[in-house]
């Protein structure tokens, strides 16, 4: 018990997520000193609601990146899901919210399955496949919408109020994001499939030789990423109300940035879902803080780019230190 108590702080200081938490605390403190309204209830609520959508997508993306792949189509899947669900609910006002959520999940899962099949059985790099489907899914949405949009006054009240309703004071969007991140984290840490996904990212060839069902796991990772992007589309439609074919444009870059900044290795095999969620929170707060501080939006993008480079450099340093410590340990055996 004593040993555990002594080791706990040491482990805490070694976690990659600690750097994100410290950066977040410094950013919030600096912004709040300049403008105390940054810590108002409404400001915190807006940041959490915006983070929820990004965190849901980052969770699926983190699982894919851990397998040494990437899913660039998530922004288009969000747009297609948001427009589909908004059109469905405007045409059927009595449609329960759970049906809308299931529709978004199913649509996204099908899109993810297409990506997974092309990557695994087509032997095409995930970067190429998902870049192509990014444009295909967006093209389908534009062709379907034809320049039209679904306005908030066309959507049923229960659908629009879902984003603002809460359970025990926690907004539904935030609660859903916490459930998604918690469940995915549990899967990655405590179940065999999670360990197999990490093994696939560490060494795909060794994973094949070890008898891991690489095809099944890879398809599962892409289906999960697509399904969560579809779910994010439903949350997006409920949060913003007005949806057109451009919904979610550029989100894929924010999602990848959140995952990388959150400490998930771009070469696969390490990182955590909670880190990706914290990365999403940090990027959202940066966007809000720069707006509050009246700083040009260009600097927001520049800071996000700098964070990505710093995260990759930090990841390489950690990888080098781990490799060096393993060599030293082997030398003493």
In a domain, 205, yes or no: yes
Question: Do 246 and 79 touch, CB atoms closer than 8 A?
Answer: yes
In a domain, 11, yes or no: no
The model's pLDDT over 150-183, given as tens digits with 9 standing for 90+, comes to 988 888 888 888 877 888 888 999 999 999 999 9
Distance CA 280, CA 283 (A): 5
Q: Is 244 helix (H, G, I), strand (E, B) or coil?
A: strand
Q: How many CB atoms lie within 10 A of CB 188?
A: 21
Q: Is 245 helix (H, G, I), strand (E, B) or coil?
A: coil
- Cα–Cα nearest to 217, from 11, 63, 61, 98: 63
User: Sorting pLDDT into bands at 50, 70 and 90, what band is 1?
Assistant: very low
User: Sorting pLDDT into bands at 50, 70 and 90, what band is 2?
Assistant: very low
Q: How many CB atoms lie within 10 A of CB 232?
A: 35
332: left (phi over 0), alpha (psi -120 to 50) or beta: alpha
In a domain, 4, yes or no: no
Split into its structural domains, the chain has a count of: 1
Mean pLDDT (the chain, rounded):
86
Task: State the DSSP H helix or E strand holding residue 264, giving kind and residue range, or none if neither.
Answer: none
What does the pLDDT read at residue 136? 96
Distance CA 33, CA 304 (A): 22
More confident residue, 187 or 296: 187
Q: Is 124 helix (H, G, I), strand (E, B) or coil?
A: coil
Concatenating the DSSP letter of every residue in 173-203 gives: HHHHHHHHHHHHHHHHHHSHHHHHHHHHHH-
Q: What is the pTM of this model?
A: 0.88
Concatenating the DSSP letter of every residue in 125-175 gives: -HHHHHHHHHHHHHHHHHHHHTT-EE-GGGS-HHHHHTTT-EETTEEHHHH
In a domain, 314, yes or no: no
In a domain, 62, yes or no: yes
Strands (E), 227-309: 243-244
In a domain, 328, yes or no: no
In a domain, 279, yes or no: no
What does the pLDDT read at residue 3? 44
Q: Is 243 helix (H, G, I), strand (E, B) or coil?
A: strand
The model's pLDDT over 200-228, given as tens digits with 9 standing for 90+, comes to 998 888 888 888 899 999 999 999 999 99
% the chain with pLDDT above 90: 48
Question: Do 281 and 262 touch, CB atoms closer than 8 A?
Answer: no
Q: Domain span at residue 211?
A: 47-250
């Amino acid at each position: 018990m004593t040993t555990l108590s002594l080791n706990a702080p040491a482990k805490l200081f070694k976690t990659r997520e600690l750097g994100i938490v410290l950066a977040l605390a410094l950013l919030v403190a600096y912004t709040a000193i300049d403008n105390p309204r940054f810590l108002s209830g409404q400001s915190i609520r807006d940041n959490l609601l915006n983070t929820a959508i990004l965190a849901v997508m980052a969770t699926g993306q983190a699982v894919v990146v851990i397998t040494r792949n990437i899913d660039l189509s998530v922004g288009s899947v969000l747009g297609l899901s948001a427009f589909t669900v908004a059109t469905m609910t405007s045409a059927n006002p009595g449609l329960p919210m759970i049906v809308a959520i299931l529709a978004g999940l199913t649509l996204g899962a099908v899109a993810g399955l297409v990506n997974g099949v092309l990557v695994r059985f087509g032997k095409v790099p995930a970067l190429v496949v998902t870049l192509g489907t990014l444009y295909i899914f967006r093209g389908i949405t534009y062709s379907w919408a034809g320049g039209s949009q679904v306005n908030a006054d066309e959507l049923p009240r229960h659908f629009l109020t879902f984003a603002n309703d809460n359970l025990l004071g926690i907004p539904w969007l935030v609660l859903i994001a916490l459930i998604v991140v918690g469940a995915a984290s549990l899967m990655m840490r405590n179940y065999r499939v999670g360990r197999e996904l990490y093994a696939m990212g560490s060494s795909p060839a060794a994973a094949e030789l070890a008898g891991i069902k690489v095809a099944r796991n890879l398809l599962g990772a892409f289906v999960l990423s697509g399904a969560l992007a579809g779910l994010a589309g439903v949350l997006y439609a409920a949060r913003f109300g007005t949806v057109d074919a451009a919904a979610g444009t550029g989100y894929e870059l924010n999602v990848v940035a959140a995952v990388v900044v959150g400490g998930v290795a771009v070469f696969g095999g390490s990182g955590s879902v909670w880190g990706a969620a914290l990365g999403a929170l940090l990027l959202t707060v940066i966007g809000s803080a720069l707006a509050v501080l009246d700083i040009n939006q260009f600097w927001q993008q520049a800071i996000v780019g700098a964070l990505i480079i710093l995260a990759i450099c930090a990841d390489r340093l950690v990888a080098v230190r781990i490799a060096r410590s393993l060599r030293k340990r082997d030398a003493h055996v």
